[in-house]
Amino acid sequence: MDKLAVFVEGQTEQVFVERLIFAIAGSRNIHVDTVQAFGGRLQPRVFVEVEATRPDPAKRFYVIIYDCMGDSRVLSDVRENYDNLVAQGFKDIIALRDVFPRPATDIPTIRSDFDFYVQKQPFLPLLALAVMEIESWFIGEHTHFGRYDNRLTDSVVNGQLGYDPSTVDLEGIAAPVSDLRRVYAFVGKGYSKSRSHVERTVDHLDYARFYMDLVGRLSDLANLISHINGFLS
């Protein structure tokens, strides 16, 4: 069984990346578990099962998603778990986090810190950054708005956002969560980081558009999908 570990900063990224993996791989030949971090600093750091069952040995691929409960813990959790994962036979690690609340000018520092501090043998983990927040990727998959609510036509969405999500520089969106919330509010819906709100959004996304279209606009998404494809090949 080939094994991949994915470290994400929070619940939104966990839900999205799980859906993305299943969209790319299908569900017949892959098993995905999710664990969530608790503790740190004054208490021992532990990961508790959120959605985890005994993997089916008949399936070729196994993925475990670590919800690190904060962007600042992604790098340290990768470092602290790297050797144990290697000992368990994991062949790859992906780290997915956003940049907010740090400014975009900190992106080179975030990348260089990861490259400097993370272990590189027997394999180098991938860092994928959602700039500024992963909700910019959701906005980029702009066809989801009409499925979310048929009143959210292109003209309405563009008017609420103040830009055209099909052409805008997605990494230049300063406050993606606020923008997404403003569009949904037009039809009386809210958006928060709650699981129900996140799932309501990600369940309307067209994942084929992420790996057929948005990879050309988002280099980190392209790297993420390429890494997942490499693991599954």
The 10s digit of each residue's pLDDT in 17-72 is 999 999 999 877 899 999 999 887 767 888 888 776 777 777 899 999 999 999 98
Task: Judge if 172 and 69 occupy the same domain.
Answer: no
Q: By C-alpha distance, which of 61, 33, 63 is closest to 48? A: 33
Token pair 């929070």: residue: 10
Predicted local confidence at residue 44, as pLDDT: 83
Same domain, 168 and 224: no
Q: How much of the chain exceeds pLDDT 70, in percent?
A: 99
Do 127 and 143 lie in one domain? The reply is: no
Task: Tell me what pLDDT residue 138 has.
Answer: 98
Do residues 124 and 160 both lie within one domain?
Answer: no
Domain housing 50: 2-135+207-232
Tokens describing residue 128: 């994928």
Whether the bond between 103 and the residue before it is cis, its omega within 30 degrees of 0, is no
Tell me: do 96 and 69 sit in the same domain. yes
Strands 2-8 and 61-67, by their bridges, are: parallel
Do 115 and 214 share a structural domain?
A: yes
pTM for the structure as a whole: 0.94
Q: Indicate if the pLDDT at residue 77 is higher than 70.
A: yes
143 and 28 housed in the same domain: no
49 and 101 in one domain?
Answer: yes
Which band of pLDDT confidence, cut at 50, 70 and 90, is reported for residue 148? very high
| Residues 47 and 66 sit within 8 Å (Cβ to Cβ) | yes
For residue 111, give both structure tokens: 């990348």
First to last CA, the chain: 13
pLDDT of residue 214: 97
pLDDT tens by residue, 88-141: 999 999 999 999 999 999 999 999 999 999 999 999 999 999 999 999 999 999
For 84, counting Cβ atoms within 10 Å of its Cβ (0-12 exposed, 13-18 middle, 19+ buried), the class is exposed
Task: Match 């600093």 to its residue by tokens.
Answer: 41
Structural tokens at position 58: 């008949």
CB 186 within 8 A of CB 156: yes
Sequential DSSP letters for 123-134: -PPEEEEESS-T
- The reply to whether 7 and 110 lie within a common domain is yes
* Range of weakest confidence among 7-16, 44-53, 210-219: 44-53
Q: Rounded to whole angstroms, what are the CA distances from 218 to 14, 53, 99, 109?
A: 19, 33, 14, 19
Tell how far CA 176 is from the center of its chain. Answer: 14
In contact, 85 and 35? CB cutoff 8 Å: no
What H or E segment, with its residue span, contains residue 193?
none
CA 38 to chain centre: 19
Phi/psi of residue 90, each to 5°?
-70, 140
pLDDT at 174: 95
Q: Do residue 63 and residue 161 come from a single domain?
A: no
Same domain, 130 and 143: no
What is the identity of the amino acid at 96?
L
Task: Give 48's strand partners.
Answer: 36
**How many domains is the chain built from?**
2
Same domain, 84 and 126: yes
Task: Give the CA count within 13 Å in the CB-facing half-sphere of 198.
Answer: 16
Q: Specify the pLDDT at position 52.
A: 67
